Amino acid sequence: MKQALWIACSTLALAAPPAFAQDASAGQDESQIVVTAQKREQVLIDVPQSVSVVSGATLERQQAVTFQDYAKLIPGLQLEQSNPGEARIVLRGINTGGVASTVSTYIDETPFGSSSGQNNGAILAGEFDTFDVARIEVLRGPQGTLYGASSLGGVVKFVTNAPQTESIEARARGTVETTEGGELSYMGQAMVNLPVSDKIAIRGSGFYRSYGGYIDSIGTAGSDVAENINGSKSYGGRLSALLTPSEALTVRLSAVLQDFDSDAASVVDVDAATLAPLYGGLTQSQYVPEFTKVKYRLYNGTINLDLGAAELLSSTSYAIQDVTLRDDLTTAYGAALGVPSDIGMAQMTNLTKWTQELRLQSPTSDSFEWLLGGYYTHEKGGIFQRIDLFTPGTLTIDPAMPQVADIFTTSTYEEYAAFANATLHFGPRFDITVGGRYSHNSQYADQGGTGLLAPPALESESSEDVFTWSGAAKYKLSQNAALYARVAKGFRPGGPNLLPPGVPAGTPLSYKSDSLISYEVGVKAETADNSFSIDAAAFRINWTDIQLFTVINGFGLNANGGKAKSEGFEFTATARPTRGFVVSLNGAYTRARLTNDTDPNVGGLAGDTLPFTPEFNWNANADYSWNVGGETEAFVGASLRSLSKQRANFDAGFGAAYGLDRPTVPAYEVIDLRAGLDFGRFTVDIFAKNLANARGVTDVSTGGGLPVAPNGAITTGIVRPRTFGITLGAGL
């Protein structure tokens, strides 16, 4: 899925689960899992909010390396995606297809992605490699107090393994996969941990993944025909150094480098009314060869200083995110421009972001705990687009044709914030946690360019002050059971609007921030022998001034709508009937709807379901392991992911052009199987993904009133077809 600076393209989504950890491979005791959801280490059962945790061991056992792979491990998780490195995450239905993100992504102490609505942050969620991570924490509900802007729906946090000075450690894995109707895929991963001394250690990991394509181009009239055009590569690594000059001082320096190189998007041409593939198979009509290159560069320095009465933490981060792509606009613009040429759009999106966070917090206490913090971020972004007319069948710009567009927008975002959090314990069973955050942001953006579709030269500014808060109460029924209730406010910054040509008079030069208030109650419990555990949460969210992506004259624009609400229920139940046998069932019911009509250009009406939010979804996972002699262990496992029908993004232009309501995404199920042998130092895993070869839809591009593909077709992203693979692993 791709979204341009001006051109209205498709968008992405994700949804939400409940509160307990789930480690199907190890069957570990959830009450002992330590998380950092509240920016201090806590046992999960003591955190009074909905948090899901997936361990690194489970991710590796289940071959879960992408958002699509580990969605089955997090109840309610839903996403909209048709390209590696481009994904929209949605939690608890908080999604309207806007440009700014509703879910924040962190890797350790580093926030990732744009905080503003100027740089396509919503569709560029960090899809970090999961090899050698300790766990993924998913925090649902607004996290504005501790995590700030654009965490309306929640936070996805990748926690990596820190270097350790105890021993040398090394591991490597290699995988080969075959996909139905496509080419072979190859993957390799390796890590090493090196103690330099008893005070210094270095840990590094690297990976390379080459995915074979499985979608063909049928072109037109016999031209532009090609097979398996959607191949992709992902590669990179992490390097981290840990220095402990004294017992009171710890310094960790880390770098994350990751690239995604994709050919054509993983979309197929489908019937606009039914979403059935238009030509029977997995095909699309490509005229101009497409590609997308996404680059992550994140650098962080974290200092922890134990002052005795308190702990001081400083986290300094610098991040670069670059996206370079070429899109095929031949169908969308060919008829409108009346030219015989192939039409392509080249786009670059650049973002650089500095962040600094300081936190002073009390030691863990059974009476009173507190945290004070300050935060600063400064980001600069730019989107540059050029639309070219090519001689048909080539990438040679036709010199006889006029320049269609060579346009740009640049932006800056600056934010200051101060926050506080405190927990008061009324004895060993009952405690109350409250928090607040004040932030100020200021933004600037400008636009300009040349060509037939160039926008007017324009500068725009905005600024706002925001206060968010949270409060939670927890009551422990016993050491292994707790009830909690939480209410919290979250917000997403507004910003300047850059107007397309021909915009109606009175269109505002800026759009407002949106905010929501969430109410949640939940329970976390397990038996004393850890043979059964359950966690469940019910929520209601009231969302106001919702930010929307609208289309005017074929160009995208940020706008505010009215109100929406989301309410539902989530649960995870895990049983361990015998040693080595773990069965878990998780699910979510989410009813997310508009409560007011949107701007007519958006096309949403009161009562309409929010996009890419299935009303029901559930996941079942079962794993069994046993000793087969000596140190050798065998295992088998299976997963089933089921999603009810969903609605695509709001699009008034689609309705006007096709005479149809926005598309309905059919329900689908995905089955995965796995088995293997662990010999201690060596492992062998075999697996099958999407065993039933479901054609689940993960994205819908309706075009905003512009044609998407020939013969009146639109396009959809799909889950990867049936895949079989084998992984060999080795370690010290």
CATH number of 166's domain? 2.40.170.20
Contact 25, 61 (CB under 8 A): yes
The type of residue at 619 is N
Do strands 86-90 and 169-179 pair parallel, antiparallel, or not at all (unpaired)? unpaired
Cα 25 to chain center, whole Å? 24
Tabulate helix, strand, coil % of the chain (nearest 5): 5, 55, 35
pLDDT at 221: 61
Handedness of CA 501, 504, 506, 511 (dihedral sign): negative
Q: Of 108, 104, 147, 138, nearest to 124 (Cα)?
A: 104
Cα gap 18→286, rounded to integer Å: 42
pLDDT at 504: 67
User: Among all chains, which residue has been given the structure tokens 């049936």?
Assistant: 722
Q: What are phi and psi of 407, to 5 degrees?
A: -130, 165
Q: How many domains does the chain have?
A: 1
The type of residue at 350 is N
60's enclosing H/E stretch is helix 56-61
User: Among all chains, which residue has been given the structure tokens 């909010």?
Assistant: 49
Q: With respect to residue 3, please indicate whether it lies within any of the assigned structural domains.
A: no
Burial class (CB in 10 A: 0-12, 13-18, 19+), 152: buried
**Distant-in-sequence, close-in-space partners of 318: CB < 8 Å, separation ≥ 6:** 298, 299, 300, 352, 353, 354
Cα gap 129→105, rounded to integer Å: 13
Q: With respect to residue 17, please indicate whether it lies within any of the assigned structural domains.
A: no
Q: With respect to residue 8, please indicate whether it lies within any of the assigned structural domains.
A: no
Cα gap 138→76, rounded to integer Å: 11
Burial class (CB in 10 A: 0-12, 13-18, 19+), 168: exposed
User: Among all chains, which residue has been given the structure tokens 């044609």?
Assistant: 707
468-506 CB burial, b ≥16 within 10 A, e <16: bbbbbbbebeeebbbbbebbbbbbbbbbbbbbbeeeeee
199's enclosing H/E stretch is none
Handedness of CA 603, 606, 608, 613 (dihedral sign): positive
DSSP string covering 594-644, please?
ESS---TTT---TTPBPTT--SEEEEEEEEEEEEEETTEEEEEEEEEEEE-
Cα 429 to chain center, whole Å? 36
Q: With respect to residue 2, please indicate whether it lies within any of the assigned structural domains.
A: no
The type of residue at 152 is L
Helix (H, G, I), strand (E, B) or coil at 505: coil
Structural domain including 85 reads 30-731
Helix (H, G, I), strand (E, B) or coil at 720: coil
Q: 218: how many CB neighbours lie within 10 A of its CB?
A: 17
Contact 8, 2 (CB under 8 A): no
pTM: 0.91
Cα gap 500→509, rounded to integer Å: 11
- Report the largest interatomic distance among the alpha carbons of the chain, rounded to a whole angstrom: 81
DSSP string covering 291-318, please?
EEEEEEEEEEEEEEEE-SS-EEEEEEEE
Cα gap 443→286, rounded to integer Å: 38
279-288 CB burial, b ≥16 within 10 A, e <16: eeebbbbbbb
**pLDDT tens-digit readout, 483-525:** 999 999 998 888 877 666 666 666 667 788 889 999 999 999 9
Which residue numbers in the chain have pLDDT < 50? 1-31
Q: With respect to residue 20, please indicate whether it lies within any of the assigned structural domains.
A: no
**Which two structure tokens, joined as six digits, stand for 139?**
């925090």
**Which two structure tokens, joined as six digits, stand for 458?**
């324009």
User: Among all chains, which residue has been given the structure tokens 């044709």?
Assistant: 401
Cα gap 114→213, rounded to integer Å: 30
Cα gap 46→524, rounded to integer Å: 9
Q: With respect to residue 6, please indicate whether it lies within any of the assigned structural domains.
A: no
pLDDT at 674: 97
**Which two structure tokens, joined as six digits, stand for 387?**
């639309």
**Which two structure tokens, joined as six digits, stand for 421?**
């959090």
Q: With respect to residue 19, please indicate whether it lies within any of the assigned structural domains.
A: no
**Distant-in-sequence, close-in-space partners of 109: CB < 8 Å, separation ≥ 6:** 300, 302, 313, 315, 317, 357
Q: With respect to residue 4, please indicate whether it lies within any of the assigned structural domains.
A: no
Q: How far is CA 441 from CA 10, 127, 413, 419, in A?
A: 28, 27, 7, 15
Cα gap 732→714, rounded to integer Å: 51
Q: How far is CA 692 from CA 74, 80, 568, 688, in A?
A: 21, 21, 30, 10
